[in-house]
């Protein structure tokens, strides 16, 4: 059996492959731990890494053991303390998870396995089952991104990209080519020596001694040919090839009227911060448009969207008119996938709520792939909610959710952006 041993020094990330294998193997336990971790942290800290614990029983490696074979007769000693049917008290809790009390018990336990996820790994698991619903490729654009694609083999590369089979095949071909003449001459010399000895030539005959010396030299020369040489190594080659992509735009609309107090504004800001992180992470080529409104609407940058103190009355239709105008002027023509997320307390002029519903049904919904409305209130649904509830009858790609406390942000977000069945 042939063993290929690579004795070259590895890089500083030599354990990266083992780490990826561990993450794949215990994906379920790590996802559960991430789910528990995000419930107790602030949304503003969502990008940080996390230390997660996995029960020891879940990381135990399977082992083989030898069982007792045959038929065994065992006599166990009796006892004077227990009788059949007795109930035994549960042992007192000990160490292991850090929650037991001190005592003189000789029981030993094992701590849970603590595994630290990096910021990148934590965000991967958090956003793994989320996506922009109904993402469709409406039109291929001239903007392209690149993907890695295999393109044969190369003579240089990193140790992790070594193609073992191809390298061994090259080494075998080199040994055959380099040692071909010597192997042929060795066979001829061995036949010639055998013929001389069969003819009765003495062992001290000069010709016999010369042939033995030649055979020894050829054997030494063949053994000196290395099994594998750096010249034989071949690496999997990957090149970047352009692939077409689609364009997407996300509109964030927030109510900043007088009825939206600081706590409600803070909840809306937290929802949009989470949404913004999600969009920037999952869709690298996506534009985000921020619209804030009270009696009038305005397109603003990210900093003003989250930190401006301007306030006033409530006319939601002003934001929808501006949204419709921006779509027509900059994102029309069927070349963009448009998504809208709106946050409000639902308090609006009665007549204006009817106008908002008409704008959505007749003008906006036919131009967007998905529209989400989040109402931030601890009371009964407002008039805007009642009008918006009629929109799904005309357009199924419209979703509504209610947020009462900041604790509802995560469940609402995951419900709005969960992966759709194929």
For residue 236, what pLDDT is reported? 86
- Which tokens belong to 25? 């193997």
For residue 100, what pLDDT is reported? 47
Task: Give the tens place of pLDDT for each residue, 57-110.
Answer: 555 666 777 777 777 777 767 667 777 778 877 766 554 444 444 555 555 555
- Which tokens belong to 201? 């030539």
Whether residues 259 and 406 fall in one domain: yes
* Domain contains 75: no
The whole-angstrom separation of Cα 306 and Cα 265 is: 9
Tell how far CA 238 is from the center of its chain.
21
Whether residues 216 and 325 fall in one domain: no
Domain range enclosing 193: 159-237
Whether residues 231 and 262 fall in one domain: no
Segments in the chain below pLDDT 70? 1-17, 35-50, 52-62, 76, 78-79, 91-113, 115, 123, 126-146, 242-247, 280-285, 419-422
**Residue 382 maps to which CATH number?**
3.40.50.410
Whether residues 378 and 275 fall in one domain: yes
For residue 144, what pLDDT is reported? 55
* Domain contains 88: no
User: Which residues fall within 8 angstroms of residue 185, CB to CB, at 6 or more apart?
Assistant: 214, 218
For residue 139, what pLDDT is reported? 39
**421-to-54, 130, 226, 248 alpha-carbon distances in Å:** 30, 12, 57, 21
- If you write DSSP's letter for every residue of 88-103 in order, what string do you get? PPPPPP-SSSS-SPP-
* Domain contains 98: no
Sheet containing 336-344: give its strands across: 297-300, 286-293, 247-255, 336-344, 370-376, 398-403
* Domain contains 154: no
Query: If we measure between CA atoms, which residue out of 327, 326, 323, 338 comes closest to residue 292?
Result: 323
CB 319 within 8 A of CB 291: yes
* Domain contains 63: no
For residue 229, what pLDDT is reported? 82
- The count of structural domains within the chain is 3
Q: What is the DSSP letter of 130?
A: B
Q: Which of 190, 207, 237 is the endpoint of a domain?
A: 237
Whether residues 371 and 350 fall in one domain: yes
* Domain contains 10: no
The whole-angstrom separation of Cα 235 and Cα 247 is: 36
pTM for the model: 0.51
Q: Which of 105, 128, 151 is the endpoint of a domain?
A: 128
**244-to-144, 247, 338 alpha-carbon distances in Å:** 5, 10, 18
The whole-angstrom separation of Cα 46 and Cα 410 is: 11
The whole-angstrom separation of Cα 198 and Cα 154 is: 53
Task: Return the beta strands (E) in 78-143 as ranges.
Answer: 113-117
Whether residues 170 and 288 fall in one domain: no
Task: Give the tens place of pLDDT for each residue, 295-335.
Answer: 889 999 887 887 777 777 788 999 999 999 999 999 877 77
Whether residues 273 and 211 fall in one domain: no
């Amino acid at each position: 059996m042939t063993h290929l041993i690579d004795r070259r020094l590895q890089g500083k990330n030599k354990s990266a492959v083992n780490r990826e294998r561990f993450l794949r193997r215990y994906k379920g336990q790590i996802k559960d731990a991430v789910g528990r971790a995000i419930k107790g942290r602030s949304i503003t800290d969502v990008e940080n890494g996390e230390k997660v614990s996995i029960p020891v029983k879940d990381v135990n490696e399977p082992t083989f053991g030898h069982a007792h074979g045959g038929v065994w007769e065992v006599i166990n000693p009796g006892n004077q303390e227990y009788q059949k049917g007795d109930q035994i008290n549960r042992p007192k809790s000990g160490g292991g998870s850090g929650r037991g009390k001190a005592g003189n018990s000789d029981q030993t336990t094992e701590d849970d396995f603590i595994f630290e996820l990096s910021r990148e790994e934590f965000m991967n698991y958090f956003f793994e089952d989320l996506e922009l619903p109904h993402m469709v490729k409406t039109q291929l654009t001239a903007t392209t991104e690149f993907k890695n694609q295999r393109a044969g083999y190369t003579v240089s590369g990193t140790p992790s990209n070594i193609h073992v089979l191809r390298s061994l095949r090259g080494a075998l071909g080199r040994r055959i080519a380099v040692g071909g003449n010597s192997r042929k001459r060795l066979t001829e010399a061995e036949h010639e020596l055998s013929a001389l000895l069969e003819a009765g030539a003495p062992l001290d005959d000069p010709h016999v001694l010369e042939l033995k010396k030649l055979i020894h030299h050829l054997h030494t020369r063949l053994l000196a040919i290395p099994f594998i040489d750096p010249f034989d190594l071949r690496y999997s080659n990957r090149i970047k090839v352009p692939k077409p992509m689609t364009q997407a735009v996300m509109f964030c609309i927030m109510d900043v009227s007088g009825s939206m107090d600081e706590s409600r504004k803070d909840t809306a800001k937290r929802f949009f911060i989470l949404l913004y992180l999600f969009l920037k992470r999952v869709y690298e080529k996506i534009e985000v448009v921020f619209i804030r409104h009270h009696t009038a609407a305005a397109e603003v940058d990210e900093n003003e969207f989250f930190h401006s103190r301007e306030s006033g009355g409530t006319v939601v239709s002003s934001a929808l008119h501006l949204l419709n105008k921006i779509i027509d002027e900059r994102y029309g023509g069927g070349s963009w996938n448009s998504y809208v997320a709106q946050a409000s307390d639902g308090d609006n002029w009665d007549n204006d709520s009817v106008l908002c519903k008409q704008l959505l049904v007749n003008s906006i919904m036919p131009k967007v792939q998905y529209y989400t409305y989040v109402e931030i209130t601890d009371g009964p649904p407002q008039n805007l909610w009642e009008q918006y509830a009629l929109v799904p009858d005309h357009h199924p790609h419209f979703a509504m959710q209610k947020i009462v406390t900041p604790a509802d942000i995560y469940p609402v977000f995951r419900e709005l952006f969960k992966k759709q069945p194929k």
